[in-house]
Structure 1
């Protein structure tokens, strides 16, 4: 069952052209990104920017945003960047380096850029910042598929 979202992850006017139908459809059915409370503020081919504000339930026992939350946000931006060209792209391998903590109520900004692509493959780097300071660096490898993944 495909769940149609009731709220928009995309900020008004973002990815509004017909060339972005594919990425708009992807984000319109993305409960993981919606659950974060993330907003996508920019999409262009190979690019995706956004932000979210850390909620209490996103923090760990140290009182900092849980690493999996940052990974999920970075992965969402990665997906926006590698799918913006209009083809279905999926992650092959992702990794993240945590640099500094962020806390409840702080806004996390993210910038994703495709840095290299060849054939059906590519790399996307995602930088996460809080108050202009780096908190995490993520690198994802993607592969373009011939069609949308099917549930088995």
Structure 2
């Protein structure tokens, strides 16, 4: 199985059970070994008391992109730590995009950067996540 096909199968299996990302309207727009791009429309129910999409909603998108990127190798991977810097809010009816890219992967640990942009391509958040593999696989490659 090619690395690209493996990444797609892993993403499809994760997506089938990721009800939170689905409920938020996220879509996987690109997937490859060590990277993932997800988009999410900003709905009125995602706006805070200031009328902005900030904090948790943006974090959820960045964290989901991170999760899909670090789970592209058919090994179960979880977040070990992460941090986010918010640069600007999202606004109603905008579509936000989170692009996760593998920075380093060695043994059971990985580092991934995620850039969240608005529909104009402006950066609104920067996220860095550390991953850790655990026992198990997304699917049995011998029977796939």
TM-score range, shorter chain: 0.7 to 0.9
**Alpha-carbon distance in structure 2 between the residues aligned to 1:110 and 1:72:** 10
Are residues 1:87 and 2:75 paired? yes
Q: Mind listing any 5+ residue stretches in structure 1 that lack a counterpart?
A: 1-14
Q: CA deviation at 1:40?
A: 0.5
Task: Report runs of 4+ in structure 1 exceeding 4 Å deviation.
Answer: none
Q: Secondary structure at the match of 1:17?
A: helix
Are residues 1:46 and 2:34 paired? yes
Q: Mind listing any 5+ residue stretches in structure 2 that lack a counterpart?
A: 138-144
Q: Which residue of 2 aligns with 1:96?
A: 84
Count of aligned pairs between the two proteins: 134
Higher-RCO chain (CA-CA 8 Å, sequence separation at least 6)? 2
Over aligned residue pairs, what C-alpha RMSD do you find?
1.7
**Which of 49, 54, 60 is the aligned partner of 1:61?**
49
Contact 2:7–2:32, Cα closer than 8 Å, also in 1: no
Q: TM-score, normalised by structure 1?
A: 0.83
**Which of 113, 126, 141 is the aligned partner of 1:137?**
126
Q: TM-score, normalised by structure 2?
A: 0.87
Q: Which residue of 2 aligns with 1:74?
A: 62
